[in-house]
């Protein structure tokens, strides 16, 4: 499960940001997870809850924003959010599209005290 290594890296980032901001505790962590990122949200939450003990995130709330697939059509220049994993433009049905969001995971924000 690569979610464990992702959480360990996330917790290290939280520790670094807390030090940079002279905070003693992180109270909330918000991440954005693209559905094509390969990250399983339930496993990520479990890993976060498991490994946050004895870190600045010990009492932190973990919030996830699940990002749907966003595409840009090269044929009609339309941007769309896909409801299904059908990589074609909903407007013109072209398959000449590129993914513009939904493939990555980002740390969006931290709340600290």
Are 6 and 31 in contact by the 8 Å Cβ rule? The answer is no
What is the residue-level pLDDT of the chain in tens, covering all 113 positions?
589 999 999 999 999 999 999 999 999 999 999 999 999 999 999 999 999 999 999 999 999 999 999 999 999 999 999 998 899 999 999 999 999 999 999 999 999 99
| The predicted structure's pLDDT at residue 85 | 87
| The predicted structure's pLDDT at residue 93 | 95
Q: Where are the beta strands (DSSP E) in 1-112?
A: 26-34, 61-67, 69-73, 79-82, 97-101, 105-112
Class for domain 2-67+101-112, per CATH?
alpha beta
| The predicted structure's pLDDT at residue 47 | 96
How far is residue 23's CA from residue 32's CA, in Å, rounded to a whole number?
23
| The predicted structure's pLDDT at residue 2 | 84
Number of CB atoms found within 10 A of residue 102's CB: 19
Residue 54: burial class (beta carbons within 10 Å; 0-12, 13-18, 19+): exposed
How far is residue 95's CA from residue 45's CA, in Å, rounded to a whole number?
35
């Amino acid at each position: 499960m690569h979610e464990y290594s992702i959480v360990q890296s996330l917790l290290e980032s939280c520790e670094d940001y807390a030090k940079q901001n002279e905070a003693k505790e992180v109270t909330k962590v918000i991440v954005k997870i693209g559905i094509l990122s390969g990250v399983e949200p339930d496993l990520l939450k479990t890993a976060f809850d498991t490994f946050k003990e004895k870190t600045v995130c010990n009492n932190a709330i973990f919030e996830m924003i699940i990002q749907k697939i966003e595409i840009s059509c090269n044929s009609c220049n339309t941007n769309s959010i896909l409801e299904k994993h059908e990589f074609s433009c909903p407007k013109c049905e072209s398959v000449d599209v590129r993914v513009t969001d939904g493939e990555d995971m980002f740390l969006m924000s931290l709340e600290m005290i």
